[in-house]
Amino acid sequence: MLSVILPAYNEEQMIQIAAQTISRILSDAHIDFEILFINDGSKDRTWERIEEASSADDRVRGICFSRNFGKEAAVFAGLNEARGECVVVLDCDLQHPPEKIVDMYRLWEEGYEVVEGVKSDRGRESGAHSFAAKMFYKIISRAAGFDMENASDFKLLDRKAVNVLINMREKNAFFRALSSWIGFKTTMVSYEVQERMAGESKWSTRALIKYALTNISSFSAAPMQFVTFFGVLMFIVSFVLSVIAIYQKLTGVALGGFTTMILLQGFSASIIMISLGVIGYYLAKIYEEIKGRPRYIISKETKKQTGTGD
């Protein structure tokens, strides 16, 4: 069976369309499936729509978070709850074309364990946004060691890969990169990002910045190395300045040197503060991880599993 995971945050208009479109496509392709909606603390009527879809169709299930935990958490909840031998994750705004699920499934049948959906274009994005996205993917690609530029959350994973992912203890897991990091026999399916059918993008600039920072820190310690780098740079600058100062002292032309002092003071103080901030950020992340809080909290489920399941 194929489990289709759909994280949903304020997607009341999309639930029914998504469930119907995906059911139709998979039924036509004679693929046995279940659809699993994860309501990520929506503030609109998304959960009611999921309950309706679930009672209308046996193959549709829903999980409701107690509040908004973010898309990553929703994806991991889906992986945890999925019962299929393979699992596909896609956005419920259908920007990831559901027809491609069939192609992915056929590749899985051929023996591939991870099928990555790769964007053939990035859709429409504004200037500043696309620049920030480029920077983010540069850093992440570097850290992860593979090209993430066109990676997306649209993927199919074999049960083996799913089990590896759900057994990872990381709280700030970055699904998009982890699914490549785990390895396995991988292939790609390219797709064109569709226009969102209804509703609007859930990502505010603030949410995107937070998302970028969390994921960079979860995959790379490079920002901490910047600290060392600036430290070394400062050391070289101050060394040169010291040599000059001593030379001036010895030749008796030592002037006030006040400007240099001010510059050095201000400069080094700010670098120290930035560095402490970076270290503090990582400390906070470590703190978050060791507290061992759950990644998400489920408040309700439709068709709650009892006993051994199927």
Binding site for Mg ion (CB under 5 A): 91, 93, 95
Please select the residue that binds ligand UDP; options are 3, 60, 202, 217, rule is CB under 6 A.
Answer: 202
> What tokens were used for 74?
């929703």
- Binding residue count for ligand UDP, defined by CB under 6 A: 17
Residue 203 as a binder of ligand UDP (CB under 6 A): the answer is yes
Based on CB atoms, which residue is closest to ligand UDP, 191 or 230? Answer: 191
Stretch that binds ligand UDP, among 66-74, 105-113, 183-191, 266-274 (CB under 6 A): 66-74
- 92 versus 177: smaller Cβ distance to ligand UDP: 92
Residue nearer to ligand UDP on the CB measure, 204 or 308: 204
Question: Is 34 a residue that touches ligand UDP (CB under 6 A)?
Answer: no
Nearest CB to Mg ion, comparing residues 83 and 119: 119
Check if the beta carbon of residue 125 is closer than 8 Å to that of residue 196: no
Residues 4-33 touching ligand UDP, rule: CB under 6 A, are 7-9, 11
Estimate the crossing angle of helix 205-219 against helix 127-144, to 10 degrees: 10
Tokens linked to 284:
């906070």
Tokens of 228: 């060392």
Candidate residues 22, 74, 86, 227; the one interacting with ligand UDP per rule CB under 6 A: 74
Based on the shown chain and the rule CB under 6 A, indicate whether residue 81 belongs to the binding site for ligand UDP.
no
Q: Please state the φ and ψ torsions of residue 72, each to the nearest 5 degrees.
A: -60, -45
* 35 touches ligand UDP (CB under 6 A): no
The sheet carrying 151-158 orders its strands as 186-192, 114-121, 151-158, 86-89, 2-8, 33-39, 60-65, 298-301
Interface region with ligand UDP, contact rule CB under 6 A, candidates 51-59, 69-77, 131-139, 234-242: 69-77
Query: Which residues have a Cβ under 8 Å from the Cβ of 230 and sit 6 or more positions away?
Result: 271, 274, 275
Judged by beta carbon distances under 5 to 8 A according to partner kind, the member of ligand UDP, Mg ion, none in contact with residue 68 is ligand UDP
Q: Report the nearest approach of Mg ion to the CB of residue 88 (Å).
A: 16
Whether residue 134 contacts residue 163, with contact meaning beta carbons closer than 8 Å, is answered with: no
Q: What is d(CA 196, CA 198) in angstroms, rounded to the nearest whole number?
A: 6
Dist. CA 108–CA 99, nearest whole Å: 15
Tell me which H or E stretch contains 227: helix 222-250
| Distance between CA atoms of residues 185 and 153, nearest Å | 18
How far apart CA 295 and CA 113 sit, in angstroms, is 25
Minimum distance from CB of 40 to ligand UDP (Å)? 4
Choose from Mg ion, ligand UDP, none: what does 70 bind? Cβ within 5-8 Å by kind.
ligand UDP
Query: Could you give the CA distance from residue 114 to residue 185 in angstroms, rounded to a whole number?
Result: 6
Mark residues 86-105: x for contact with ligand UDP by CB under 6 A, - for none.
Answer: -----xxx-x----------
Note the residues at the interface with ligand UDP (CB under 6 A).
Answer: 7-9, 11, 40, 68, 70-71, 74, 91-93, 95, 196, 201-203
